Chain A
C-alpha cells in the first residue's frame, strides 16, 4: 500500500496509478450536493478568503458528516460532478467519492493534475480513523456542512489519475490477452 499525506503535491499525483491502494492521512475537507456549488460560486467570485479555507493541495471527500459517521456519496450527482473541474483548478488535488465519472470530468482532472479515488461505505471502520472533525464553512447546511477531518490512514483506491482510469487498464489488458 502507498502512503499519501495532505497537502498533496502535483508530483504526488504524477506518481499515482489507477488501481493503487493508498493509505490517506492528514486534513481532508468534506462537501457534497449542498456546499460544493456554494464553494464553486465563491471561487468564481474570487471570495474564497471569506471562509478561510486553503484548497491548495487539498482533498475533498464527498460525504455528509453526522453523528451516524461518514461514507462516500455518489460523485456523479449533478451538483457534485460539475464542481470537480473548477475545484481542481482551485487546487483540490484529490476528490474522494464513489461511482463512475464522465470522460470530460476525467479529462479535467488530468489537465489540473488532480485525481479521483474511491472507498467502500465502511462507516464503522472509518470512525476509528478520524482523529478530529470540525465544521469550517456553511454550517447552515447541517450534516452537509463543510468539515475538516483529520484522518489517519484511510484506505482508498485510486480510480482515475493522469488521464487514465481503472477501466482503461482493464480494457487494455483484455486487448492484450
Chain B
C-alpha cells in the first residue's frame, strides 16, 4: 500500500491547488475560448473573449484571482477501496484551503453574527479571507486505489442563476432537454458574465442532482463533448445572447452533463448551474 503524504504536504498541496483553480484556466478552457474567437463574427464579442484570455494570462503569471468574486470553496474527494480518510486529513484539507485563501488572496466575505444577522448581513463581515468556510464535502468511492481531492471555487453570479428543479419527463429525453435548454437560455440572458458553461446533474433527489452537477464540473472537458452536450450548447448559442449578454455567437463554450441513477417515476430532478466565463475554477491533487 502506497504511503500517503504527510499532513504538512497535504496542506501545501491543497493550498497550491486552490490558488491554481482560482488563477488559471484549464487547457481545454483556453482552447474553447480560442475556437470561439475564431468563429465569432461580431468584432465586439471577439474583443471581449480576447480580453478574458488576456486577463487569464495576467492572473496565471501573478497567481492572482481571475475574478474578484473568488468564490466559496467546495471539495470533492475520490476515495480508493483501501484508502483511509481520517479526521486529520480532512482537517489538513480545511487548513490548506484557509492558507490558499489567505495567500491568493480570496475575497473576505464571511458574514458574522447570529442566524438572523447572517441572513440579514447585519452583523458585519470578517476581514480575514480564510474565514470563508468550506461547503459540505462530497466523497465518492472509485476503482482506482487513490485519494484524489478536487477543489472548486463557486462564484455568486452563477449561484443566482442556478436551479434545482423537477422535470416531468413524459418518458421523453426531448421533454427534459427542452426544459433544461429553456432554463439555460433564460438565465444566460441575466447572468452577465457569458460565455457560460452549463453544468447539469440529473438524479433522483435534489441532493443527488446537485452533487452530480458538482461532479460534472470536475469531469467535464470542453474538448470532449457528448452529442447531448453539443445539442444543449448549440441550442443555447442559437439564442445569440453572446459574450457579456451583448449579442454574438458565443453564449456557451460547452456543456458539462452528468446523468446519474434514475427513479422509476415520471419525474427527474435536474440541477443546472451556469458556470460563468471564469468558471469552472477547479484543480485536482493526489494525496
Contact = CB atoms under 8 A, between A and B. Distances in A.
Q: Do A and B come from one complex?
A: yes
B107 A121 contact: no
Contact of B65 (A63, A124, A167): A124
Nearest to B106: A68
A144 B173 CA distance: 44
A74 B157 contact: yes
B59 A68 contact: no
A170 B55 contact: no
Interface stretch (B76-84, B139-147, B186-194, B251-259): B186-194
A76 B190 contact: yes
B55 A122 contact: yes
B217 interface: no
Given A76-B190, A143-B108, A123 B247 contact: no
Nearest to B70: A68
Contacts of B65: 68-69, 123-124
Given A123-B59, A142-B108, A142-B124, A69 B51 contact: no
Interface residues of B, number: 47
B69 interface: yes
A140 B121 CA distance: 11
B149 to A, nearest CB: 23
B4 interface: no
Nearest to B241: A100
Interface in A140-177: 140-144, 155, 157, 159, 166-167, 170
Contacts of A166: 246-247
A118 B68 contact: no
B107 A64 contact: yes
Contact of B160 (A66, A77, A124, A141): A77
B101 to A, nearest CB: 9
A125 B246 contact: no
Nearest to A155: B51
A121 B246 contact: no
Given A124-B65, A142-B125, A167 B247 contact: yes
B276 interface: yes
Q: Looking at B65, B70, B129, B192, which has the most chain A CB atoms within 10 Å of its CB?
A: B192
A122 B51 contact: yes
A34 interface: yes
Given A157-B246, A170-B247, A125 B55 contact: yes
A167 B247 CA distance: 7
B278 interface: yes
B59 A143 contact: no
Interface string B4-40: 0000000000000000000100000000000000000
Given A125-B51, A159-B246, A166-B246, A72 B127 contact: no
B44 interface: yes
B64 interface: yes
A127 interface: yes
B129 A121 contact: no
A110 interface: no
A119 B105 CA distance: 22
A119 B189 CA distance: 15
19 contacts: A64-B107, A67-B108, A68-B104, A69-B65, A71-B68, A75-B192, A98-B192, A98-B244, A99-B192, A100-B189, A118-B192, A118-B244, A119-B244, A120-B243, A120-B277, A121-B55, A121-B67, A125-B51, A166-B246
Closest CB pairs A-B (n = 10): A98-B192, A142-B125, A99-B192, A122-B55, A124-B59, A71-B68, A124-B58, A68-B107, A69-B68, A67-B105
Interface of B: 23, 44, 47-48, 51-52, 54-56, 58-59, 62, 64-70, 104-109, 121, 124-125, 127, 129, 156-157, 160, 189-193, 240, 243-247, 276-278
Interface of A: 19, 21, 34, 63-64, 66-77, 97-100, 118-125, 127-128, 140-144, 155, 157, 159, 166-167, 170
